[in-house]
């Protein structure tokens, strides 16, 4: 005779939060592919959302202040002296438009 052992309630609740599918089903095919934990789904969604804004502060919002600070320290400037552009051409155009030709 086989006796099923229930998971502790806290563990069961945590698993159901991370794997909503398990609220209704017992998923056994995880050798090949399985449902993703909700924290992974959120992380993938964050990366996908950031990919919509390549080369901008919205792509890596936490990186910009750090890069500004390190550049400022490197050359003895103020972090606010730096401007990040989408690409080199955009940056060069900004500089060129600032020249009184």
Q: Please report how the helices 38-51 and 9-18 are oriented relative to each other, as an axis angle in degrees rounded to 10.
A: 30
**For residues 55 and 38, which has the higher predicted lDDT (pLDDT)?**
38
Average pLDDT, the chain: 86
Output DSSP code: residue 29.
Answer: -
Please identify which residue in the block is written with the tokens 């030709």: 101
Looking at the chain, list the stretches that DSSP marks H as alpha helix, in order from N- to C-terminal side: 9-18, 38-51, 63-75, 88-97
Using the predicted structure, report yes or no on whether residue 57 has a pLDDT greater than 70: no
Tokens of 35: 């449902």
Helix (H) or strand (E) holding 96: helix 88-97
Q: What percent of the chain has pLDDT over 90?
A: 44
């Amino acid at each position: 005779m086989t006796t099923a052992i229930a998971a502790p309630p806290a563990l069961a609740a945590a698993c159901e939060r991370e794997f909503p599918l398990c609220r209704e089903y017992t998923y056994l095919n995880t050798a090949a592919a399985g449902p993703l934990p909700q924290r992974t789904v959120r992380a993938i969604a964050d990366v996908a959302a950031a990919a919509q804004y390549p080369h901008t502060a919205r792509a890596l919002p936490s990186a910009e202040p750090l890069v500004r600070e390190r550049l400022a320290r490197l050359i003895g400037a103020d972090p606010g002296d730096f401007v990040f552009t989408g690409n080199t051409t955009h940056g060069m155009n900004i500089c060129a438009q600032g020249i009184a030709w």
